[in-house]
């Protein structure tokens, strides 16, 4: 709750800095400091929270436990890292720099709501609060037609999905007479209510769209490709993690008893997502577009957390969200330094910028799930959770196969950097500060791979 | 006269009966007038009569032209504040009952909107001529 | 209540016919006008359900403000030429099939639930007084946080709409 208030105030403050401060660099620095303060507020909230007793706010609108606050803390930390990695690129997008940061702060409000909601109304508001800034950020590069297209496409599709989400909530309300997610469990006692099942199907569709799972993934490549690159890095990581925590919360807490009815649907969605994401990524020529498909593929792995209901899957979600977020932000940070986003643009990067190529390799290895990186531990946790659950062993084998395919397109970049000749054009010089942050990020990826337990200490 | 008696009841949909009646009369009047003038008036269609009347000046170009985005901007901001104002209505009716708690809630809400309004004015979104 | 039932059926038919008109009419302006008519029909339903506040808000905000904005946008776009691309027949067919299946599923679900779930007695829940009480006490948190949504919308209007 403290974090929600703090993030709102920070958002309002950032709105006004754009009027008072004209210098872009100053705004970016201030934003980094404010997000850092927000991280502090999160840690403060974590330390004051009773370990065993979830805290309810405002007539049970929010129910905050250690898990959700820890998730908030990690995601806020990722946001700080993101601002440090791509703060300079954000300044280049347009003139409304402070507004972009304000929107990010509001998105964090949405994230905090989605990790702690206990009422469908708060869920709906949270989803809207993370969505609307995304539509705006996607279209913030107004001179670029692709950016406008991305924004409009995302907005229209997102608006339809919001309608579907609302329909699902309505049907559930009609079946149960309550918005409280903890009280939906009455469904098991009653003879099965078809209206509630319909509602659950609608909710699956809406969430699948928000996390870009097949077959509701169609918007992802165009939106992620068309949006300004720094915002793609944010949308495909922190915001996606927020949608996932809302997904897993609702389905594990409320619909747990009905899992027999929806496990198969989610399993098929997972399989389709893995297949579409990985196979289509192979055929891409642009690394940015490949990353869009890769984010679909990674969403497929994260869906395992929803699928297998156990403590391991909750832990797995946190590990996956963090390691995927850190690695993806790293990849995008390197990508933004280059002018040409195709594979050929990476040719010979190792000669020109050996450090950049090296950290990029680590990030890509993590995304591919090679041992000793965070991505490996994340995939390991997810698949362990699925094996423990035991119903979808075929899906685990399929996922392993798909992970093998993903190695191909991630390694194409590495091969281009190390084994091909060429002189990549840089869009901006790589400063010492950039190097420092990138190396720190890469070190973080390795640390997560060696000691993933660090992420679970505070739950 | 059952209906009119029902209308005096508190808080039923039939409170709206007079409004519905007014709507029906208003729409009915328009429809009747349009149909009747159509039927009664003589019709002589010449090519001069069928073109748009623009004060005697020959029409030039197309009416569908791209327009300044300022109009949209003002319209969108209007919708936002319109929605805000609607929240006051249920508050006003419960004003006394909600007491200070409700007052604080509304005050906070209005404070946010005031921030938004100052932001809009300062950013120059409502300036017509730049 | 015969009148209430008659009104219900009238409004229902009006809503469905107008909604079909929205998607079937070729002229975007008549689509918007149909949509306004649909909103009025739905407002009528709200009033029949004794949810007067929702009915009024629906007319003021949707039929009044938002639809005018829609009309604004459509009138100012260049829609003289019939530029709508021809859709693939196969895709249309697939759309009809999948939409029809969803419709059937929902319809079947509603049928199984039957009339038992619907409460026919009129309640006062939807009246402005009761709604306000709930909104400012139980649901005060979503009410406050919705202002964050409005603020982001304002930023969006500035970022997207303001000339650089």
Encoded tokens for C92? 């249309």
A63/A243 Cα distance (integer angstroms): 17
How many angstroms separate the CA of residue C116 from the nearest CA in chain B? 23
Residues B21 and B41 in one domain: yes
How many angstroms separate the CA of residue C59 from the nearest CA in chain B? 12
What is the tally of helices (H) and strands (E) in chain A?
A: 19, 2
Given a cut of 80, whether residue C135 has pLDDT beyond it is yes
Residues B23 and B80 in one domain: no
Q: Read out DSSP for C92-117?
A: HHHHHHHHHHHHHHHHHHHHHHGGGG
Report the length, in residues, of chain B.
130
Residues B55 and B73 in one domain: no
Q: Give the DSSP H or E segment for A57.
A: strand A55-57
Encoded tokens for A445? 């990826």
Mean pLDDT of chain A: 90
A31/A80 Cα distance (integer angstroms): 9
Model confidence over A408-418: pLDDT tens digits?
999 999 998 99
Residues B121 and B83 in one domain: yes
| pLDDT at position A225 | 92
Question: CB neighbours (10 Å) of residue C2?
Answer: 6
Query: Is there a domain that residue C100 lies in?
Result: no
Model confidence over A79-103: pLDDT tens digits?
999 999 988 889 888 888 999 999 9
Considering Cα of C100, then C102, then C103, then C107, what sign does the dihedral take? positive
Per DSSP, the three-state class of B62 is: coil
Model confidence over B76-119: pLDDT tens digits?
888 888 888 888 889 998 888 888 989 999 999 999 999 999 99
What is the tally of helices (H) and strands (E) in chain B?
A: 5, 0
Question: What domain range is C160 assigned to?
Answer: 128-164
CB contact under 8 A, C154 and B119: yes
Model confidence over A300-334: pLDDT tens digits?
999 999 988 888 888 899 999 999 999 999 999 99
CB contact under 8 A, A198 and C141: no
Residues B9 and B58 in one domain: yes
Chain C residues in contact with B9 (beta carbon < 8 A): none
* Domain parsing of chain A, residue ranges: 2-456
In this complex, how many residue pairs, one in chain B and one in chain C, have their CB atoms less than 8 Å apart? Answer: 131
Nearest by CB: C142 against A106, A109, A121: A121
Closest CA to C47 of B88, A167, B14: B14
Encoded tokens for A330? 């790293």
| pLDDT at position B1 | 42
User: What is the 3-state secondary structure of C18-69?
Assistant: HHHHHHHCCCHHHHHHHHHHHHHHHHHHHHHCCCHHHHHHHHHHHHHHHHHH
The answer to whether residues C7 and B3 touch, using CB atoms and an 8 Å cutoff, is: no
Closest CA to A246 of A115, A54, A134: A115
CB contact under 8 A, B120 and C154: yes
Backbone angles phi and psi of A231, in degrees to 5: -75, -30
CB contact under 8 A, C109 and A62: no
Encoded tokens for C52? 């007067």
Residue A15 touches chain B, beta carbons under 8 Å: yes
A85/A329 Cα distance (integer angstroms): 8
Chain A residues in contact with C108 (beta carbon < 8 A): 194
Using the 3D structure, point to which of B40, B65, B90 is the last residue of a domain: B65
Residue that has been written with the tokens 């970049």 in this structure? A413
Model confidence over A352-382: pLDDT tens digits?
888 999 999 999 999 999 888 999 999 998 9
Given a cut of 50, whether residue B8 has pLDDT beyond it is no
| pLDDT at position A18 | 87
Nearest by CB: B80 against C80, C128, C150: C150
Residues B56 and B96 in one domain: no
Q: Which residue has the higher pLDDT, A125 or C3?
A: A125
Measured in whole angstroms, the distance separating CA A149 from the mean position of its chain's CA atoms is: 22
Let me know if B53 is exposed, middle or buried by CB neighbors in 10 A (0-12, 13-18, 19+). exposed
The tally of domains found in chain C comes to 1
Nearest by CB: C155 against A15, A57, A193: A15
Give A179-182 contacts, CB < 8 A, sequence gap 24+: A179/A119, A179/A120, A179/A121, A180/A60, A180/A118, A180/A119, A180/A120, A181/A117, A181/A118, A181/A119, A181/A120, A181/A123, A181/A249, A181/A250, A181/A253, A181/A254, A182/A60, A182/A63, A182/A118, A182/A253, A182/A254
Model confidence over C69-113: pLDDT tens digits?
887 777 777 666 666 666 788 888 998 999 999 889 888 887 877
Residue C160 touches chain A, beta carbons under 8 Å: yes
Predicted confidence band of residue B9 (pLDDT cuts 50, 70, 90): very low
Encoded tokens for B24? 């029906």
Q: Which residue has the higher pLDDT, A114 or A312?
A: A114
Measured in whole angstroms, the distance separating CA C63 from the mean position of its chain's CA atoms is: 9
Q: Which residue has the higher pLDDT, A275 or C105?
A: A275
Residue C6 touches chain B, beta carbons under 8 Å: no
Q: Read out DSSP for B27-41?
A: HHHHHHHHHHHHHHS
Chain A residues in contact with B112 (beta carbon < 8 A): 12
Query: Is there a domain that residue C8 lies in?
Result: no
Those residues whose C-beta lies under 8 Å from the C-beta of residue A217, and which sit 6 or more positions away, are A273, A276, A277, A296, A299
Closest CA to A367 of A322, A320, A327: A327
Measured in whole angstroms, the distance separating CA A1 from the mean position of its chain's CA atoms is: 21
Residue C155 touches chain A, beta carbons under 8 Å: yes
Encoded tokens for A97? 């720099």
What is the tally of helices (H) and strands (E) in chain C?
A: 7, 0
Closest CA to A49 of A108, A100, A2: A2
Question: What domain range is B101 assigned to?
Answer: 67-130
The tally of domains found in chain B comes to 2
Predicted confidence band of residue C61 (pLDDT cuts 50, 70, 90): confident
Per DSSP, the three-state class of A348 is: coil
The mean per-residue pLDDT over the stretch A49-53 comes to 78
The CA-atom distances, in angstroms, between A318 and each of A321, A455, B21 are: 5, 7, 61
Highest mean pLDDT among A176-190, A232-246, C99-113: A232-246
How many angstroms separate the CA of residue B122 from the nearest CA in chain A? 7
Chain A residue closest in CA terms to B119: A16
Residue B23 touches chain C, beta carbons under 8 Å: no
The mean per-residue pLDDT over the stretch C8-22 comes to 93
Q: Which of A265-274, A278-287, A426-435, B111-120 has the lowest mean pLDDT?
A: A426-435
How many angstroms separate the CA of residue B45 from the nearest CA in chain C? 25
Query: Is there a domain that residue C37 lies in?
Result: no
Closest CA to A369 of A338, A408, A397: A408
Model confidence over A389-403: pLDDT tens digits?
888 889 999 999 999
Q: Give the DSSP H or E segment for A4.
A: helix A2-20
A290/A281 Cα distance (integer angstroms): 5
């Amino acid at each position: 709750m403290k974090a929600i208030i703090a993030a709102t105030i920070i958002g309002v403050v950032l709105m006004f800095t754009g009027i008072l401060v004209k210098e872009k660099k100053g705004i970016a620095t201030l934003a980094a400091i404010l997000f850092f303060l927000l991280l502090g507020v999160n840690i403060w909230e974590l330390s004051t929270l009773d370990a065993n007793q979830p805290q309810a706010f405002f007539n049970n609108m929010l129910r905050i436990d250690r898990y959700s606050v820890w998730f908030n803390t990690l995601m806020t930390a990722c946001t700080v890292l993101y601002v440090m990695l791509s703060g300079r690129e954000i300044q280049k997008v347009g003139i409304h720099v402070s507004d972009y940061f304000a929107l990010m702060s509001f998105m964090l409000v949405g994230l905090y709501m989605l990790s702690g909601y206990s009422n469908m109304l708060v869920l709906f508001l949270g989803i809207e609060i993370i969505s609307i800034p995304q539509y705006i950020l996607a279209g913030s590069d107004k001179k670029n037609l692709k950016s406008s297209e991305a924004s409009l496409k995302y907005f229209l599709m997102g608006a339809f999905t919001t309608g579907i989400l609302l329909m699902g909530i309505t049907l559930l309300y009609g079946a149960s007479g309550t918005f409280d997610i903890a009280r939906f469990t009455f469904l098991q006692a009653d003879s099965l209510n078809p209206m509630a099942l319909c509602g659950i199907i609608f909710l699956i569709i809406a969430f699948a769209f928000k996390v870009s799972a097949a077959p509701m993934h169609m918007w992802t490549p165009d939106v992620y490709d068309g949006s300004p690159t720094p915002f793609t890095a944010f949308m495909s990581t922190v915001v996606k993690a927020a949608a996932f925590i809302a997904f897993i919360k609702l389905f594990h807490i409320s619909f747990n008893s009905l899992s027999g009815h929806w496990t198969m649907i989610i399993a098929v969605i997972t399989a389709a997502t893995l297949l579409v994401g990985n196979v289509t990524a192979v055929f891409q020529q642009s690394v940015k577009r490949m990353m869009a498909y890769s984010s679909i593929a990674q969403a497929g792995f994260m869906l395992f957390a929803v699928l297998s209901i156990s403590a391991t899957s909750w832990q797995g979600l946190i590990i996956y969200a963090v390691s995927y977020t850190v690695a993806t932000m790293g990849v995008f940070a390197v990508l933004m330094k280059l002018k040409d986003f195709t594979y050929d643009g990476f040719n010979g990067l190792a000669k020109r910028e050996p450090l950049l190529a090296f950290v990029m390799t680590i990030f890509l290895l993590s995304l591919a799930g090679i041992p000793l990186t965070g991505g490996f531990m994340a995939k390991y946790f997810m698949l362990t959770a699925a094996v423990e659950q035991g119903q979808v062993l075929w899906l685990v084998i399929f996922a392993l196969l798909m992970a093998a395919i993903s190695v191909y397109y991630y390694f194409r970049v590495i091969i281009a950097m190390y084994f091909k000749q060429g002189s990549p054009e840089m869009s901006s010089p790589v400063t010492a500060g950039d190097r420092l942050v990138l190396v720190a990020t890469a070190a973080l990826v390795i640390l997560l791979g060696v000691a993933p337990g660090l992420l679970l200490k505070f739950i | 006269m059952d209906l009119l008696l029902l209308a005096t009841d508190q808080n039923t949909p039939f409170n709206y009966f007079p409004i519905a009646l007014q709507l029906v009369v208003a729409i009915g009047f328009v429809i009747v007038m349009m149909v009747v003038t159509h039927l009664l008036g003589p019709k002589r269609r010449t090519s001069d009569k069928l073109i748009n009347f623009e004060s005697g000046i020959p029409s030039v170009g197309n009416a569908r032209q791209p327009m300044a985005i300022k109009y949209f901007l003002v319209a969108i901001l209007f919708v936002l504040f319109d929605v805000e104002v609607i929240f006051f209505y249920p508050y006003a009716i419960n004003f006394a009952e909600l007491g200070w708690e409700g007052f604080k809630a509304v005050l906070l809400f209005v404070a946010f909107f005031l921030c938004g309004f100052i932001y809009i004015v300062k950013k120059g979104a409502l300036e017509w001529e730049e | 209540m015969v009148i209430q039932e008659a009104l219900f059926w009238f409004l229902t038919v009006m809503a469905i016919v107008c909604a079909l008109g929205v998607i079937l009419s070729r002229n975007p302006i008549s689509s918007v006008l149909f949509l306004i008519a649909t909103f009025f029909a739905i407002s009528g339903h709200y009033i029949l359900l004794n949810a007067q506040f929702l009915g009024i808000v629906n007319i003021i905000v949707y039929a009044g403000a938002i639809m005018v904005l829609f009309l604004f946008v459509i009138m100012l776009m260049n829609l003289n030429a019939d530029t709508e691309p021809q859709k693939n027949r196969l895709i249309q067919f697939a759309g009809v099939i999948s939409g029809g299946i969803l419709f059937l599923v929902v319809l079947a679900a509603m049928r199984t639930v039957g009339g038992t779930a619907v409460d026919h007695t009129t309640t006062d829940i939807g009246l402005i007084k009761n709604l306000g009480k709930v909104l400012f006490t139980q649901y005060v948190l979503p009410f406050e946080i919705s202002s964050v949504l409005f603020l982001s919308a304002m930023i969006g209007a500035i970022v997207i709409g303001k000339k650089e």
